[in-house]
Chains A and B, each alone.
Chain A
Amino acid sequence: MPEMTYREALRSTLVEEMDRDPSVVLLGEDIGLYQGTFRVTEGLLERYGPKRVVDTPISELGFIGAGIGMAMLGLRPVVEVMTWNFSLPAADQILQNAAKVRYFSGGQVSVPLVIRGPNGAGVQLSAQHSQSFESFYGHFPGLRVVAPATPADAKGLLRTAIRSSDPVIFLEHAALYGVKGPVPDGDHAVPFGQAAVVRPGRHVTVVAYSRMLHLVLAVADRLAAEGIECEVVDLRSLRPLDVDTVAASVRRTHRAVVVQEQWPLFGAAAEIASGIYERCFDDLDAPVERVTGEDVPAPYARNLERLAFPDEDRIEQAVRRGLA
């Protein structure tokens, strides 16, 4: 299997899907001439021209809304948000139009739209640029929400997203663009709503997604030296949410820790913990442990930012508590 970065996985999928289907178009700020803020769209303007790679003004409400309209008329737009924090001016478009128009039209229209860009914290961008939107968008029926952690899943989920007939919230992570990993050749696609057991283990189930998965895997390595075996589940999709895979793992390990970067209240970890309790309460030997970001706006200072988000030490402590 060839190795490539998360960024290359995304870019090569865009190329493959644009080559395959002329209805795929890209829109976003500085995706063309500038080559993309995180260079995911590098070279694509030259390759496909300005009608398919559309540089937009700083106007998220406008161009995300326009992307929805394009999708309703049969195009497959992939809209880049420079970061998901900038999607808020367009929240009305995403939540009130994209998520619902199929429903309130009685199934007369589809919105085959992908909105993609970096989500989350950890690179000292302070309060307005460090938020995680998975539970915000995950709350709304009609949307799909995915958050790949690896290059293989970035490729596989993006392909599924572009071919989907539903609007997809595609959450990347700024800290992952340079991460390398093996990526299957060919038409590799990962279905929505399938979590993956990425590391088998007997003693405790640890659930994560996106950047947090990498911290969890590092902790699992550390603990393995002591003979503690973590079973690590990567959610990959948040809507639909594959609680069954999580519960099946918990039935084997009888203990669970859920890790998220976002704030604790109404977060993904609460939903997953609730799903575990509903499905396999009697299998649990201990309460589900949650590891989350602190309940404060993201600070700038490096030391404070470190305190604000889960790190390996805090995840390790939570696993040990879960095992106690």
Chain B
Amino acid sequence: MQPHAESLAVSVETLLEWYRTLVFVRRFEEQTERSFRRGKIGGYLHVGIGQEAVPLGFLSAARPDDVFFVSYRDHVHTLVRGTDPGAVMAELYGKLTGTCKGKGGSMHLFDVARGNYGGYGIVGGHLPLAVGAAYALRYQGTDRVCLCFFGDGAMNSGALHEAANLAGLWGRDGMCPVVFVVENNQYGMGTSVDRASAVTDLARRFDAYDIPNERCDGMDPVGVYEVATRVVEEVRRTGRPYAVEALTYRFAGHGAADLFQPYRSKEEVERWRQRDPILLVERRLRELGALDDARAAELAAWADQRVQEAVAFAEESPEPPPEELYRDVYGE
């Protein structure tokens, strides 16, 4: 697939900003892997390394008052939405200053003030929530939309079928402004899409629900942004759902425990690395004369420093006190 988009109106400033963001979230994720190995982060850890263009493109195209739901691979979405990296790292470290007071961890990053309605740990389990959220946004008379990010693995869950059917139904009345964003990273854990889905063109499966759909290159942020801008605005205008299958790839393992990756070859990983979203943006910036080695090094240093600040904040933050155990179970 060819990278889109010399044509698109993304300013050099925006592209540079995206580059900074991409470098930062990559360094952040690499740090989480180190912290996990050092025992600072527990539980599961699913990093978004390689897949950053999808959340970056879609959340850049969305309005600040739009909302989103995401799978457990939720760090990048949360960071590009503008949540304080210190709070994200502190959540991973299980600290009181974390996004969820240390009660959610890696799989459950929330920032409702920024429209982040959370990461969810059951594959496909958040899809119906997003459909209901979209209904509520229309019911309340707004033109906000709901983005629902999930992996190719969720495509084979019953939740996908039920959520998509309801979205298709409610969309007829303009009552379901949801964008289904399939982050097709080629594998549900170690099972490739062609071993898991009878129809491997995942976008086309939304035809069954009368939901307009398309596939896009999920490695090039400019291309993703172009598609996302058009789709989000259409959904905002019509109140109807839309599905985009973004073809992407995770360079890291499924989770921190996925060390040997017997299900894929080094050559395959290397092939996809040629289309690393950071490389694609960097190449374009260099062509435009907006980035040179010195500037790149400066940005990398800035990103590293910001990551280290987040780590320091997490390290120094207090653990949740014992009474937090009993808080937030009920509202009243």
Contact = CB atoms under 8 A, between A and B. Distances in A.
Contacts of B330: 102, 142, 144, 166
B165 A59 contact: yes
A246 to B, nearest CB: 22
A61 B128 contact: yes
Contact of A69 (B101, B121, B129, B329): B129
A145 interface: no
Nearest to B158: A61
Interface string B105-129: 1001011100001101110011111
Nearest to A75: B136
A74 interface: yes
Nearest to A109: B112
B265 interface: no
B98 interface: yes
B162 A69 contact: no
Contacts of B231: none
Contacts of A104: 100, 103-105, 108, 110, 118
A147 interface: no
A310 interface: no
Interface string B80-116: 0000000000000000001111111100101110000
B166 A57 contact: yes
A319 B165 CA distance: 52
Contact of B329 (A65, A74, A142): A142
Contacts of A63: 128, 162, 166
Contact of B122 (A92, A107, A112): A92
Contact-residue size bin, chain B (C-beta under 8 Å from the other chain): 35 or more
A157 interface: no
A107 to B, nearest CB: 4
Contact of A62 (B131, B139, B140, B331): B131
A165 B330 CA distance: 8
A72 to B, nearest CB: 6
A51 interface: yes
Interface string B267-303: 0000000000000000000000000000000000000
B77 to A, nearest CB: 15
Contacts of A77: 132
B245 to A, nearest CB: 21
A182 interface: no
Given A51-B175, A66-B166, A74-B140, A105 B131 contact: no
B327 A107 contact: yes
Contact of B139 (A25, A103, A142): A25
Given A92-B125, A105-B112, A74 B136 contact: yes
Contact of B165 (A57, A73, A101, A108): A57
Given A51-B139, A69-B131, A97 B120 contact: yes
A119 interface: no
A106 B162 contact: no
Interface in B164-189: 165-166, 169, 173, 175
B129 A72 contact: yes
A66 B328 CA distance: 22
A66 B125 contact: no
Interface string A61-90: 111111111111111010000000000010
A291 B166 CA distance: 43
Interface in A12-69: 25, 50-51, 56-57, 59, 61-69
B159 interface: yes
A69 B128 contact: yes
Nearest to A98: B129
A265 to B, nearest CB: 26
B332 interface: yes
A131 B221 CA distance: 52
Contact of B166 (A59, A144, A164, A165): A59
A62 B99 contact: no
B135 interface: yes
Given A59-B165, A104-B108, A105-B100, A69 B331 contact: no
Given A51-B175, A66-B163, A70-B136, A105 B125 contact: no
A71 B328 CA distance: 16
Contacts of A67: 132
Contacts of B163: 62, 65-66
Contacts of A165: 331-332
Contacts of A61: 128, 158-159, 162
Nearest to A62: B162
Contacts of B100: 104-106, 108
Nearest to A141: B329
B147 interface: no
B126 A62 contact: no
Contacts of A109: 110, 112, 117-118
B130 interface: yes
Contacts of B120: 97
A68 B128 contact: yes
A229 B193 CA distance: 68
Given A61-B128, A68-B128, A104-B110, 9 more contacts: A56-B166, A59-B165, A62-B159, A65-B131, A69-B69, A69-B134, A73-B140, A74-B140, A107-B328
Interface of B: 67, 69, 98-105, 108, 110-112, 117-118, 120-122, 125-137, 139-140, 158-159, 162-163, 165-166, 169, 173, 175, 327-332
5 contacts: A51-B175, A69-B135, A102-B329, A106-B98, A109-B118
Interface of A: 25, 50-51, 56-57, 59, 61-75, 77, 89, 92-93, 96-97, 101-110, 112, 141-142, 144, 164-166
